[in-house]
Structure 1
């Protein structure tokens, strides 16, 4: 049995622990079975945004006539070259992550699959390692639905879609969450005829007004088959055929050269040998943790997607910094407080949110007011000739605190940070109203939504 102070399984969010702990003098083993950097770097946030950003530019070119620009010949994405650049960049970064760990005297980077052999021991490459503290950061993988005929076909998940060098003429997307919408947007803007099979709603966890606005705009560039489910898949070597059935029993067959499956995620916890431990999981396979992210086994922690709390790189970064502080730097019994966790969907239109949705507040019976401002009613929105987009803020009536904020439209992922900061500082509507906003910058839409909320408060 080889003894370490710290074992980390997974080099995505797990890197927030590995080198910082080693720098403090702890002997650390970092175990990784795939490319360094985890989902975000290799098959998630970074490559997808490198794909989506050019798609956004193409979209703006195509609509340049709205602001009296003659864009000339139709712009085109050099898809093969773009994917090559994305893949090369991501692989270079991933490969560059290993040498610092290999050179650090306090860390050992082990390439292989870790399996628990006991509560505080794991086996990898025939070696058995033990540590007082073990951090599980194994992430998730795409959930593959049990659709007859799907298995064995060359369908795509986000992993393959981000490395696919051939732009298909047609694509079918099964799933209507943020992964499917982001990748579908990128492919459709690049020139693919994209059809979405939407069982319930697009991005259904968003605020109700966001969902409605998103559908209105998104459906202009993508074909939606709403209320349908995929019942059977076949592939003749070139073309996919997907049989779909609507809520009313109507059946259709869609055909396309590519099929993207984006129906959710499952945690990579079923491959860890957790049956050899006392670590508990919920019904979906996510590892159960307490307020310090500790599992049912003292000294063993789960962070990132695999604990099921949140599924963002920014939250696992936050968790890693928290764990370093309360376990290593200044040990304490402090429990994690995520505060208002923000998110963004990088589609066209872009979506961002933080805090409660109006649906949640209504369900809770909360006493609140809704402040609202459309982009087109601001000076910058007028300059951009915006035909969609809005800011929506939800304010508690009694204390004027910001309960939630939701933005759809240009730069939503940037605009939301004004509201994230105020919510973090427990700011109020008065704080929003008392600020000086640059004129005529787009955040004036936030100010005007705040003014609308003040009006609603006065009307009572």
Structure 2
């Protein structure tokens, strides 16, 4: 083979691939970006953004049930125009995709190609019959929805996030199978738009939660809006009038089924076996999470394709790391951000830092708040949900939190910042809390934790010395 003509070859133009591209372009013009299928990120096309547009419409309509309690009349006349809701989502989606495409449309043809890439080893890639020699390779091929093969017989009545928003209309009877983050979001949104929703999951924990009480708060909230079955696996069969879904003794007939069983990496047929390293049961090699490097090869596996943390902000970080390391003489190890995941249900679900179920009870203290009595939440009729946070019993440093809480996305960000900065329960209690805000609920949980710590201060107030302010004479 001739000497490499490329410094790096990027496979995939999703979030991770585009982030890698930004780093590579700063360092070299000798690169090639190849993408198979639609251009534009999963988030913009079928993931984060379309689903949030659906949730916004659903939550706006659901608010009609509370208008009477707020002294507002006429809300019962509101209804969802499902085709119009879906069309608005597609219009918004197209705008988001157009923004993502601007990053690649301007590339000249020798730096951008559509096609199927197959690895021939750590320094060569075949693209539709043409072999490209390269010093390094960045694999960022993303993921796709998981659908059992036997379900394919039901045709377009089996929906995923790749197809849900393309439908001209929905329902009126829908089953959602799988209640991870995606299943929770979609099932609640469809129920709030007026569809009859039955949700099924084998696990008792929903949305990735590990804390039993927080999970219980979420389950209670969802059961008010839909039928929820946990335990036995769901089985599908054709019946008169639709698709029958059975789970243990439970049975429902629906018009469509949303498969929310997670996503699988797009690595089949990619040629990872040509790298000469062991592959796991899913056909993936071991990847260093700090460098994104596969073994000691000049090959980097980033984003959903490595199946480590399939979240957009993590994929972007990994793309940047892979882009820098692919052109570095020696790959650098990067400290990853504090784990943060958010589910946009109502109440919102979030996990920050370490999972609570994995912490040792004897070495931690747990602070809790129930939002049923929280002032701002009561005023807004959003008074439901729980937040649990954990701190090290000896140092008081915050370790992690799980919540099913109103406006949890903002509480989670505060806690993620605090954990990444190594703050203690007392440090955070010394920060300002405005009244009346949902953040006061976080303060309640912090105070609960502080009471269990051996060095609890007598007041939330920080001293002048601790906040860096000189005491007055």
Give the corresponding residue for 2:122. Answer: 119
**Partner Cα separation in structure 2 for residue 245 and residue 305 of structure 1:** 30
1:428 pairs with 2:424: yes
Q: Of the candidates 360, 368, 371, which is equivalent to residue 367 of structure 2?
A: 371
Pairing of 1:395-434 with structure 2 (within 5 A): 395-434=391-430
Cα 1:384–1:11 shift into 2, 3 Å: same
**Partner Cα separation in structure 1 for residue 114 and residue 19 of structure 2:** 18
Q: Of the candidates 275, 278, 290, which is equivalent to residue 276 of structure 2?
A: 278
The secondary structure found in structure 1 opposite 2:187 is helix
Contact 1:35–1:94 (CA<8 Å) still a contact in 2?
Answer: no
The secondary structure found in structure 2 opposite 1:229 is coil
Give the corresponding residue for 2:24. Answer: 21
1:216 pairs with 2:220: yes
Normalised TM-score (structure 2): 0.88
Give the corresponding residue for 1:336. Answer: 334
Q: Of the candidates 192, 197, 216, which is equivalent to residue 195 of structure 2?
A: 192
Contact 2:7–2:28 (CA<8 Å) still a contact in 1?
Answer: no
**Partner Cα separation in structure 2 for residue 95 and residue 433 of structure 1:** 44
1:229 pairs with 2:233: yes
How big is each residue's C-alpha offset from its partner over 1:237-276, in whole Å with a ceiling of 9 and x where there is no partner? x62122x242xxx3x4321111111122221111312233
Contact 1:62–1:71 (CA<8 Å) still a contact in 2?
Answer: no
The secondary structure found in structure 1 opposite 2:135 is strand
Contact 1:5–1:27 (CA<8 Å) still a contact in 2?
Answer: yes
The secondary structure found in structure 2 opposite 1:217 is helix
**Partner Cα separation in structure 1 for residue 213 and residue 455 of structure 2:** 22
Pairing of 1:6-405 with structure 2 (within 5 A): 6-12=8-14, 13-104=16-107, 108-145=111-148, 147=150, 151-154=153-156, 155-203=158-206, 205-206=208-209, 207-234=211-238, 239-242=242-245, 244-246=246-248, 250=249, 252-290=250-288, 291-296=290-295, 298-326=297-325, 328=327, 334-361=332-359, 364=360, 366-405=362-401
The secondary structure found in structure 2 opposite 1:282 is coil
Give the corresponding residue for 2:465. Answer: none
Contact 1:391–1:408 (CA<8 Å) still a contact in 2?
Answer: yes
The secondary structure found in structure 2 opposite 1:254 is strand
Contact 1:325–1:331 (CA<8 Å) still a contact in 2?
Answer: no
Cα 1:326–1:136 shift into 2, 3 Å: closer
Normalised TM-score (structure 1): 0.90
Contact 1:150–1:233 (CA<8 Å) still a contact in 2?
Answer: no
Give the corresponding residue for 2:461. Answer: none
Runs (5+) with no aligned partner, structure 2: 457-473
The range that moved more, 18-27 or 166-175, is 18-27
How big is each residue's C-alpha offset from its partner over 1:79-111, in whole Å with a ceiling of 9 and x where there is no partner? 212222222332344345445534345962211
Cα 1:426–1:112 shift into 2, 3 Å: same
Runs (5+) with no aligned partner, structure 1: none
**Regions of 4+ moved over 6 Å:** none
Give the aligned length.
450
Contact 1:23–1:106 (CA<8 Å) still a contact in 2?
Answer: no
1:442 pairs with 2:446: no
RMSD: 2.4
Cα 1:57–1:356 shift into 2, 3 Å: same
**Partner Cα separation in structure 1 for residue 352 and residue 49 of structure 2:** 21
**Partner Cα separation in structure 1 for residue 302 and residue 422 of structure 2:** 26
Give the corresponding residue for 2:467. Answer: none
How big is each residue's C-alpha offset from its partner over 1:322-360, in whole Å with a ceiling of 9 and x where there is no partner? 3345555x8665423224210011112211110223321
Contact 1:150–1:234 (CA<8 Å) still a contact in 2?
Answer: no
CA apart distance, 1:150: 5.0
**Partner Cα separation in structure 2 for residue 136 and residue 413 of structure 1:** 31
**Partner Cα separation in structure 2 for residue 127 and residue 256 of structure 1:** 48
CA apart distance, 1:406: 1.9
Cα 1:129–1:326 shift into 2, 3 Å: closer
Contact 2:123–2:135 (CA<8 Å) still a contact in 1?
Answer: yes
**Partner Cα separation in structure 2 for residue 88 and residue 160 of structure 1:** 15
**Partner Cα separation in structure 2 for residue 316 and residue 198 of structure 1:** 27
CA apart distance, 1:310: 0.6
CA apart distance, 1:140: 1.5
How big is each residue's C-alpha offset from its partner over 1:170-228, in whole Å with a ceiling of 9 and x where there is no partner? 00112121111111111111111000122222416312222110000001001012223
